[in-house]
Amino acid sequence: MHSKSYCGEMSAYSIDDVATLTGVSKHALRYYEREGLLAEVPKAPNGHRRYSEDDLGWVRFLQLLRATGMPIREMKAFVDLTHAGEHTIADRVEVLAHYREALVTRMAADREHLERLNAKLDYYRGVLAAADAVPEDITGYVRTDRART
């Protein structure tokens, strides 16, 4: 899937490759670059972007940040922290820990919703199974008898 870069090195990816490998649209990749979330990507002589393995890893990390619910402006602030150097690691840990906690909370709520949904499905499946267990000739009689009363 990856192709040779304009320098002849392996591990240079086109924007199509990166979009396919990550599920991030080409539009979003360009946006991330414009907004400074992704370092400026080198271009081949033909003007096409050539992403490195590091770029690919960073795109996947940005994808993770988005999946946690982190807004773009906070992603940008996080990227700025990484560019500021090692002395910001404690700040980065704090940011990631905050989003981790929010994710854990959402997962617990989702688990509860899933349990409640499963209980409702079990109930409805039980109703269907009980209806299927009643012989057709009796079902018709019961329905007819109920109509009379």
Residue 132 has pLDDT above 90, yes or no: no
CA distance 59 to 22: 7
CATH of 1-70, one of 3.40.50.300, 1.10.1660.10, 1.10.1740.110, 3.30.830.10: 1.10.1660.10
Q: What is the pLDDT of residues 51-97, one digit of tens each?
A: 999 999 999 999 999 999 999 999 999 999 999 999 999 999 999 99
Supply the pTM of this predicted model. Answer: 0.71
Residue 116 has pLDDT above 80, yes or no: yes
Burial class (CB in 10 A: 0-12, 13-18, 19+), 17: middle
CA distance 23 to 59: 10
What residues contact 114, with CB distance under 8 A and at least 6 apart? none
Confidence of residue 140 (pLDDT cuts 50, 70, 90): low
72 touches 35 (CB < 8 A): yes
pLDDT for 133: 77
CA distance 116 to 114: 5
Residue 49 has pLDDT above 80, yes or no: yes
- Mean residue pLDDT of the chain comes to 87
Q: What is the pLDDT of residues 94-111, one digit of tens each?
A: 999 999 999 999 999 999
